[in-house]
Chains A and B, each alone.
Chain A
Amino acid sequence: MNKLDSAATGEHNVNFRQIGKARTRTDSPGKVFGKTPYAGDYVMPDMLHARVLRAKVPSARMTRLDVSKARALPGVAAVLTFKDLKIGTVATDIPGQTGFKRRATDQQILVDELVRYQGEPIAIVAAETVEIAQHALSLIEVDLEPVPGVYNVFDAQKPDAPKVFGTDNLVASYKVRKGDVEVGFAAADVIVENTFTTQYIEHAFLEPEVGLGWEDEQGVINIRSSTQAVETFRYIADAMGLPHSKVRIRGALVGGGFGGKCDVTVELYIALLTKATGRPVRLGYSREDSFYGHGKRHPFIINHKTGFTRDGKITASKIDITSESGPYAFMSPYVLMYATEAGPGPYLVDHVHIDSRSIATNNMYTSAFRGFGATQACIAYEQQMDEAAKVLGIDRIELRRRNLLKTGDAIATGFKVQSAVWTEECMDRAMAALGEKPKDKGAIRYGHGLAAYQQGYGRMIWLHDTAEGWVGVEMDGTVLVRSGMTDIGAGQTSSLAQIAGELLGIDMMDITVYNSDSSTTPLAGTSSASRGLYMSGNAVRLAAEAVRDRLAARAAKHFGSTADDVDFANAQVFLKSDPRQTMPFKELVAVCASEGIHRAELAIFRAPFGDWIDPETGQGQVHPDYTYGAHAVQVAVDTETGEVTILKSIGAHDIGQAVNMAAVEGQIEGGVAQGHGYALSEELIYKDGYLVTPSLSEYLCPTSMDSPRIECIVLESRSGLGPFGAKGIGEPGHTPAAPAVANAVADAIGTRVFDFPLTPEKIANAVRKARKAG
Chain B
Amino acid sequence: MYADFDLLIPEGLNQALGMIAKSKADTDIAPLGGGTNLVVEMRARGKAAATLLSVGQIADLRGIEIADGRVTMGAATTVSDILRHPRMPDVGSALFESAGVFAGQMVRNTATVAGNICCGSPAADLVPPLLALGASVTLQSQRGERTVPLDKYFTGYKTSVRKPDELLTAISWPVPAGKSASRFYKLGRRKGDAITMVGVSVFIEMAGGVCTTVRIALGAVGPCVMRAGKAEAVLLGKAPTAELIEKAASVAEGECAPIDDIRASGAYRKQQVQVLVRRLLNQTIESLS
Contacts and interface: CB of A to CB of B under 8 A. Distances in A.
Interface residues of B, number: 23
Interface in A155-181: none
Contacts of A693: 262
Given A698-B262, A703-B193, A643 B1 contact: no
Interface in B267-289: 268, 271-272, 275-276, 279
B8 interface: no
A417 interface: no
Contact of A700 (B44, B190, B264, B265): B190
Contacts of B104: 703-705
B275 A706 contact: no
B189 interface: yes
Interface in A694-752: 695, 697-698, 700, 702-706
A643 B264 CA distance: 13
Nearest to A676: B190
Interface string A752-769: 000000011100110000
A694 B191 CA distance: 20
Nearest to A645: B191
B191 A706 contact: yes
A700 B194 contact: yes
A640 interface: yes
B187 A643 contact: yes
A98 interface: no
B192 A704 contact: yes
B195 interface: yes
A762 to B, nearest CB: 9
B197 interface: yes
B191 A705 contact: yes
A233 B158 CA distance: 51
Interface in A563-606: none
Contacts of A641: 187, 272, 275-276
Interface residues of A, number: 26
Contacts of A706: 190-192
Interface in B82-129: 104
Contacts of A680: 190
A698 B271 CA distance: 22
Interface in B121-156: none
Contact of B189 (A645, A681, A695): A681
A142 interface: no
B265 A761 contact: yes
Nearest to A682: B190
Nearest to B278: A640
B192 A705 contact: yes
Task: Name the residue among B44, B104, B195, B262 with the largest chain A CB count within 10 angstroms.
Answer: B262
B99 to A, nearest CB: 14
A131 B187 contact: no
A702 B191 CA distance: 8
A199 to B, nearest CB: 13
A700 B189 contact: yes
Contacts of B40: 697
A662 interface: no
A640 to B, nearest CB: 5
What 6 A-B pairs have minimum CB-CB distances, sorted nearest first? A703-B192, A705-B192, A705-B191, A761-B268, A640-B275, A706-B191
6 contacts: A134-B1, A640-B275, A693-B262, A704-B104, A705-B191, A705-B192
Interface of A: 130-131, 134, 640-641, 643, 645, 680-681, 685, 692-693, 695, 697-698, 700, 702-706, 759-761, 764-765
Given A698-B262, A703-B191, A705-B104, 15 more contacts: A645-B191, A692-B262, A693-B262, A695-B44, A697-B193, A697-B195, A698-B263, A703-B193, A704-B104, A705-B193, A706-B190, A759-B264, A761-B268, A764-B272, A765-B268
